[in-house]
Structure 1
Amino acid sequence: MEIDLINGLSIILIAISISLVLSILYYTLKTGISPMPGSARARRCVLDHLTRISEQHPDQSLTITEAGSGWGHLVIPVALRFPQHKITGYELSWLPFIICRFLKLILQLDNLTLHRQDFLIADLSSSDIITCFLYTEGMSKLRQSLEKQDCLPRWLISICFALPGYQPEHTQRLNDLYNTPVYFYLMPEN
């Protein structure tokens, strides 16, 4: 009897694990990128730059949007550091979205709104700053989406991949294994 219970629980755990892996694989194929977090150095670099922007606009409540918030490795620290700003994260894959939402609830981040939605079809017109860690094709799609909506943010910060057709104001190379670039764009005003 005890062995049957253990075997039953083992089968359930294996089924859940396989379902989770298949879900991540499905959304990886659907979006073209896995929900892989950026490095701690990249996160610090982005947070430092956001801090400079925030300090330059002390009387303004900024809207910071993360396109592809994944497991929350960037959007959660951004919400923690900037309680005075409105932070929004978009994630399509349900497992990272649930983990990120759980962290939001545990940390009581009232300034953070999470959407389980494709950011490419979301209304980003209220975004002052967009942060992202996508891939080459994803950056092209983001550009097309922003230009189609005619809603360029004031700033765009991209880890690793450039925004085609735009010249970054500054590129910072991280002192890591890949010499990862972080692109900082001051976007043209609409």
Structure 2
Amino acid sequence: MAALPNRERSPVFAAIAIQLVVFGGIYLLRSPLEGVLDYPVPLLWLSLSQGLIAGIITRGFGFSAPWVIGQVIAPPLLLFALALNLPSWIFPVILVLLVLVFWNVAVGRVPLFLTNRTTSEAILKLLPKKKGLHVTDLGSGLGGTLRYLAQKMPDARFTGLETAPLPFALSWMIGKIVGGRNLDYRFRDIFREDLSGYDVIYCFLSPVPMPRLYEKAKKEMKPGSLFISNSFEVPGHRPDKIIKVADRRQTKLLIWRM
């Protein structure tokens, strides 16, 4: 099936468009179907049908499993929330919170992936043991990886870049409370950051930004510096080394020497 226009840039809006189209189709077919069955179709059946059809279409357009699951469960969850007769202000508050957390999903198709402790320990072993080392996490999320590394390597500097508002705010506040002086979080687009000052770049993003990010790193980073990607490859560029992490998700760290 052909891809939706601009799906790579706005998957949230594409997913909403699918739901709206399916809802319109079900609405148009509801009356004829009730005429054939000779009784009203329950709203629960309609919401379950909408979710299932939307999920199938979403998968057909090449979306990943989390998007499909979200499409399937969204209509019945909305119906359930309406049945609870919740105050009307709750829905916009929830929407705002979701936008603040998953902002990068909407604008760059980069979900909020969190690096587990086992992987952080593996990254620590990869870092050169030299004074003044500068490491950045591009898309640092809640900042846990850098806090761990900063505690283990007090002579190195660690900088996290994040543009999802709520994760950035939380990581910045926690960093101020429990982080050291060698730790810094910045609200900044990774493609507007000069990468020449970093000795090591770590990222756990998605397949979408990797080609552009790799080319930027190759152009700007110093010779001998490291570019580490959690799980996601760079098409056409074979990593110099792959580390398999002994965690439950069988994480792979792909390493390029610039």
Q: Determine the C-alpha separation between the residues in 1 that align with 2:123 and 2:105.
A: 24
1:96 counterpart (146, 150, 167): 167
Q: Determine the C-alpha separation between the residues in 2 that align with 1:155 and 1:149.
A: 12
8 Å Cα contact 1:125-1:153 kept in structure 2 = no
Residue 123 of structure 2 is aligned to residue 46 of structure 1: yes
Q: Determine the C-alpha separation between the residues in 2 that align with 1:176 and 1:113.
A: 28
Mean Cα deviation higher: 136-145 or 110-119: 136-145
Q: How does 1:10-89 map to 2 (within 5 A)?
A: 15-50=92-127, 53-54=128-129, 57=130, 60-89=131-160
Corresponding letter in the other structure for 2:241: H
Q: 1:139 to 1:17 in 2, by over 3 A?
A: same
Q: Determine the C-alpha separation between the residues in 2 that align with 1:103 and 1:78.
A: 15
Residue 238 of structure 2 is aligned to residue 161 of structure 1: no
Q: Determine the C-alpha separation between the residues in 2 that align with 1:97 and 1:152.
A: 30
Q: Determine the C-alpha separation between the residues in 1 that align with 2:108 and 2:224.
A: 22
Larger relative contact order (Cα-Cα within 8 Å, sequence gap ≥ 6): 1
Structure 1 residue runs without a partner (length 5+):
1-9
> Higher helix share goes to which structure?
2
Instruction: Report the RMSD for the aligned CA atoms in angstroms.
Output: 2.3
Partner-residue secondary structure (3-state), 2:202 = strand
Partner-residue secondary structure (3-state), 2:195 = coil
8 Å Cα contact 2:139-2:160 kept in structure 1 = yes
Mean Cα deviation higher: 134-143 or 176-185: 176-185
Q: Determine the C-alpha separation between the residues in 1 that align with 2:213 and 2:123.
A: 19
Give the TM-score of the pair, scaled to structure 1.
0.79
Q: Determine the C-alpha separation between the residues in 2 that align with 1:45 and 1:127.
A: 19
Following superposition, the deviation at residue 15 of structure 1 comes to 4.8
Following superposition, the deviation at residue 161 of structure 1 comes to 1.3
Q: Determine the C-alpha separation between the residues in 1 that align with 2:191 and 2:98.
A: 24
Residue 215 of structure 2 is aligned to residue 140 of structure 1: no
Q: Determine the C-alpha separation between the residues in 2 that align with 1:100 and 1:152.
A: 30
- Please name the residue that 1:6 is paired with: none
Q: Give identity over the alignment, percent.
A: 24
- Please name the residue that 1:122 is paired with: 193
Q: Determine the C-alpha separation between the residues in 2 that align with 1:13 and 1:23.
A: 15
Q: Deviations over 1:100-146 (max 9, x none)?
A: 00111111421112111111111111101111111222211211322
Following superposition, the deviation at residue 71 of structure 1 comes to 0.6
Q: 1:76 to 1:83 in 2, by over 3 A?
A: same
Number of equivalent positions: 172
Give the TM-score of the pair, scaled to structure 2.
0.60
Following superposition, the deviation at residue 180 of structure 1 comes to 2.0
8 Å Cα contact 2:111-2:206 kept in structure 1 = no
Mean Cα deviation higher: 17-26 or 120-129: 17-26
Corresponding letter in the other structure for 2:101: I
Following superposition, the deviation at residue 184 of structure 1 comes to 2.3
Corresponding letter in the other structure for 1:28: V
Following superposition, the deviation at residue 182 of structure 1 comes to 0.9
Larger Rg: 2
Structure 2 residue runs without a partner (length 5+):
1-86
Q: Determine the C-alpha separation between the residues in 1 that align with 2:157 and 2:88.
A: 43
